[in-house]
């Protein structure tokens, strides 16, 4: 039964990915709605107004998980894991306490993981591939498959109509990458439009005020924008995928704790997928984290966020292992890697061989083969 279910999942997932690869629409990084001041790539993020408050105790008794609570569904996954009483009990037996810290984007998460401060995280394809290419992390599971969008006004029916116009995008994220791939599919380049660097929370208002003609963004920003303004339309969609990954040092130092975190990841997905009420509760937890950390509120209701999140995990909620076919030559992630590499979005020393070495589905497969032993269907909120 497990093999048949997994085969069915792989078949459905492969069809989705094949279509998206053929049109060259490749993902982006999920971030918060309300961004802090933009920091340069070489900035010491330990001085960041929010991150400077984070304490990282590397005494062997604490582990740290990076979350993005404004994102859907991966932000909700992190929040559900943070309320997992079974996880906390099992880690306590190992003499370990887990701390969940929210981050604004994948590159910020990677900054701290490369400093050996974060142990595990969920982020988009671009930062996931980047840190794996640097040989710093191991990719272990899928956390999201969902569309992101280019949003504009109804009078613009095609991307070609936007030639020479201003398009808002959070530069350096894979929303930027997604925009570039869509331009390439239309035989255009970034020089054919005016790319305007903007924070994710500024995009909708900027389009309403005609400061830009369109924007490229990830969910739930496009859905919220379309709900808010009936003159807005989506003219292109591209794949927004996210992944679970852990630092190589953490995997080597504490394999049992790693196993418990992966079990919690599976429990979270199953609990979220079990009912609308569960997903909404996870969305409420995410909203509470956002309000507590940033003093902001989500501009969508928990049930709206839950609906988006459900779509993002629908294909793989029970079996979120990464099919090996995705890593073959000309597979989805291979094409994503090449595009990123060719556009200077990965470290110079990056190689596909490093990515392959740092992909490992064995942990989740081990857990899926022993579901009862690891309480995968027995989520208990604290």
Residue 147 carries which DSSP code? E
For residue 308, what is the enclosing H or E element?
helix 302-313
The two tokens of residue 144 are 């999201």
More confident residue, 327 or 232: 232
More confident residue, 236 or 294: 236
Is residue 297 scored above 80 in pLDDT?
Answer: no
Is 325 part of any domain?
yes
d(CA 175, CA 195): 12
Give the pLDDT confidence score for residue 9 in this predicted structure: 39
Residue 326 is part of a domain; what is its CATH number? 3.40.190.10
Is residue 109 scored above 50 in pLDDT?
Answer: yes
Is 183 part of any domain?
no
Is 168 part of any domain?
no
Give the pLDDT confidence score for residue 24 in this predicted structure: 31
Residue among 237, 102, 242 at smallest CA distance from 182:
237
Give the pLDDT confidence score for residue 210 in this predicted structure: 96
Residue 121: band (very low, low, confident or very high) from pLDDT cuts 50, 70, 90: very high
More confident residue, 348 or 113: 113
Give the pLDDT confidence of 7-32 residue by residue, as tens digits. Answer: 443 444 444 333 333 333 333 333 33
Give the pLDDT confidence of 27-63 residue by residue, as tens digits. Answer: 333 333 333 344 444 578 999 999 999 999 999 999 9
Other residues' Cβ atoms within 10 Å of the Cβ of residue 46: 13
The two tokens of residue 97 are 């306490």
Share of the chain above pLDDT 90, in %: 51
Give the pLDDT confidence score for residue 28 in this predicted structure: 30
Residue among 26, 23, 286 at smallest CA distance from 148:
26
Scanning the structure block, which residue is given the tokens 């990084």?
29
Domain that holds residue 250: 43-146+241-368
Residue 2: band (very low, low, confident or very high) from pLDDT cuts 50, 70, 90: very low
Mean pLDDT is highest, among 2-11, 62-71, 157-166, for 157-166
Is 83 part of any domain?
yes
What is the count of structural domains for the chain? 1
More confident residue, 10 or 170: 170
Is 13 part of any domain?
no
Is 259 part of any domain?
yes
Average pLDDT over residues 128-138: 91
Q: Of 72-76, 345-349, 358-362, 378-382, where does mean pLDDT reach its minimum? A: 345-349
Give the pLDDT confidence score for residue 137 in this predicted structure: 96
């Amino acid at each position: 039964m497990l093999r048949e279910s997994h085969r069915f999942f792989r078949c459905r997932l492969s069809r989705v990915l094949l279509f998206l690869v053929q049109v060259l629409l490749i993902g982006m990084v999920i971030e918060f709605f309300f961004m802090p001041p933009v920091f340069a790539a070489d900035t010491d993020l330990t001085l960041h107004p929010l991150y400077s408050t984070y304490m990282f105790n590397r005494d062997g008794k604490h582990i740290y998980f990076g979350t993005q609570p404004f994102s859907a569904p991966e932000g909700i996954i992190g929040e559900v894991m943070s309320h997992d009483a079974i996880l906390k009990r099992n880690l306590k037996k190992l003499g370990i306490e887990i701390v969940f810290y929210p981050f604004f984007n994948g590159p910020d998460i990677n900054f701290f993981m490369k400093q050996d401060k974060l142990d595990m995280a969920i982020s988009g394809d671009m930062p996931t591939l980047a840190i794996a290419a640097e040989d710093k992390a191991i990719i272990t599971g899928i956390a999201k498959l969902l569309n992101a969008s280019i949003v504009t006004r109804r009078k613009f029916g095609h991307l070609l109509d936007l030639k020479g116009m201003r398009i808002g995008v959070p530069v350096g994220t894979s929303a930027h990458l997604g925009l570039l791939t869509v331009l390439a599919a239309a035989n255009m380049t970034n020089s054919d439009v005016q790319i305007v660097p903007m924070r994710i929370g500024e995009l909708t208002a900027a389009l309403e005020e005609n400061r830009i003609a369109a924007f490229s963004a990830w969910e739930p920003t496009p859905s919220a924008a379309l709900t808010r303004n009936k003159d807005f339309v989506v003219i292109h969609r591209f794949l927004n995928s996210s992944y679970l990954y852990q630092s190589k040092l953490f995997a080597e130092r504490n394999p049992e704790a790693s196993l418990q975190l992966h079990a919690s990841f599976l429990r979270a997905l199953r609990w979220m997928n079990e009912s609308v009420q569960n997903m909404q509760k996870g969305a409420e937890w995410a909203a509470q984290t956002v309000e507590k950390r940033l003093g902001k509120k989500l501009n969508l209701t928990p049930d709206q966020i839950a609906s988006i999140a459900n779509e993002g995990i629908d294909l793989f909620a029970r079996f979120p292992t990464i099919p090996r076919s995705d890593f073959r030559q000309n597979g989805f992630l291979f094409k994503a890697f090449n595009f990123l590499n060719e556009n200077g979005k990965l470290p110079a020393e990056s190689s596909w061989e490093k990515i392959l070495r740092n992909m490992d589905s064995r942990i989740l497969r081990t857990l899926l083969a022993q579901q009862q032993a690891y309480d995968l269907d027995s989520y208990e909120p604290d």
